[in-house]
Amino acid sequence: MNEKDSWQKIIKLLTETTSETEMETILEYLLTSEEKVQLAGRISLTHLMLYSKLTQREIAKELGMSISTVTRCSNALKKLPEQAKEQFK
């Protein structure tokens, strides 16, 4: 299975999940502790970038992230559809 097929398998697996408990079980299996922390940080980072008036440097300092991580997220966020951005409220 190639990378694209594997990614589509993950999407299908997660979208077919019917409960929070089931989702948590799947994510506990798929993600290491460090990956969960990084993902939670990305969520916090995205929320701050969308809904605060902090600069990228202030956000990086507040979250204990590098400015390059914040910049990468900012660049990715520019490509995110408005509807998807609403999910980060």
In this prediction, residue 28 carries a pLDDT of: 96
Could you state, in order of their start, the residue ranges of all structural domains in the chain?
1-30, 33-89
The hierarchical CATH code for the domain 33-89 is 1.10.1270.10
Mean pLDDT of the chain: 94
In this prediction, residue 71 carries a pLDDT of: 96
**What six digits make up the tokens of 3?**
């990378």
For residues 16-25, give the mean pLDDT: 94
pLDDT digits (tens, 9 = 90+) for 41-77: 999 999 999 999 999 999 999 999 999 999 999 999 9
- In this prediction the pTM is 0.79
27 pLDDT above the threshold of 90? yes
Give the integer Cα–Cα distance in Å for 38 and 33. 9
Cβ neighbors of 45 (< 8 A, separation 6 or more) are 59, 63, 65, 69, 70, 73
Which amino acid does the sequence have at 3? E
